[in-house]
Amino acid sequence: MAASHDLTTDPALQEALLTVRRGTEFFGRKLDELPDDALQAPSLLPDWTRAHVIAHVSYNARAIARLMKWANSGIETPMYSSWEARNAEIEHGAAIAPKELRDLCQDSAAQLDAAWRDTPSDAWKHQVKTAQGRTVPASETVWMRTRETWIHTVDLGNGATFDQLPANVLKRLLQEITGAWQSRGDGKDLLLKASDASRVLEFGDRDSDNPEIISGTLADVTAFATGRSTNGITSSKQQSPTAPRWL
């Protein structure tokens, strides 16, 4: 019998699950606001319609649920059989009828949430592999999904903004993005200064003697770092700065 509550007793993981569930609700609310005939309109992502974004978020939930199956069973279950299969799946989903696509989004999210809820504490430590080939504990799937739900709600182009993302999500995104830049040798001399209430947080190359400083609110700097927007940010060296690739 499925559990009626999370089996994990880890407070940090419980808090993370609350944040990702709020992200799922956020995506669902903005999707519900869109009429069926708006789903084939362009999203904020190049070459993708809103239906592509919805299909991607839906199939991502199924892919992460496969990782939870791996964590719980010990049987290797990859997120996708290949990148080609992943891309074909998204294209298929973007072309199905609106009601079918909405049902897919709702059902896949419920499937993933049930997998998380029914995972005992020990299984969250089991190692799984992401689509990029990184080996991580199963607990990392919660953050993987958190990124998808909150960011892609903005990508729907239905009025959601980075200002509506929780501050803890924005901060972790900036830590992850600047860490990815550093690991690839990108972002040299690029220092992000993000205003959070009464503080200014710094991310990026803090050791540079002559950095290019990107300044703005926490939300605006994160939107810049994810490659979504340059609104609200200023550069100490350029009029139109461009962020290095994130993923």
Does residue 171 sit in the same domain as residue 69?
no
| Residue 68: per-residue pLDDT | 98
Q: How many folded domains does the chain comprise?
A: 2
HSE-CB of 214 using CA atoms within 13 angstroms:
29
pTM to 2 decimal places? 0.94
157: Cβ contacts below 8 Å, ≥ 6 apart = 41, 42, 43, 44, 50
Q: What residue numbers bound the domain in which 63 lies?
A: 11-160
Per-residue pLDDT tens, the chain, 247 aa: give them.
456 789 999 999 999 999 999 999 999 999 999 999 999 999 999 999 999 999 999 999 999 999 999 999 999 999 999 999 999 999 999 999 999 999 999 999 999 999 999 999 999 999 999 998 999 999 999 999 999 999 999 999 999 999 999 999 999 999 999 999 999 999 999 999 999 877 999 999 999 999 999 999 999 999 999 999 999 999 999 989 999 999 8
**Which two three-digit tokens encode residue 31?**
């999707």
CA pair distance 153, 244, nearest whole angstrom: 22
| Residue 174: per-residue pLDDT | 98
Q: What is the CATH number of the domain that holds 225?
A: 3.30.1050.20
| Residue 3: per-residue pLDDT | 60
In a domain, 25, yes or no: yes
Which residue do the tokens 């991580």 mark?
A: 136
| Domain boundary, last residue among 141, 160, 179 | 160
| Domain boundary, last residue among 109, 136, 160 | 160
| Domain boundary, last residue among 106, 129, 160 | 160
| Residue 1: per-residue pLDDT | 43
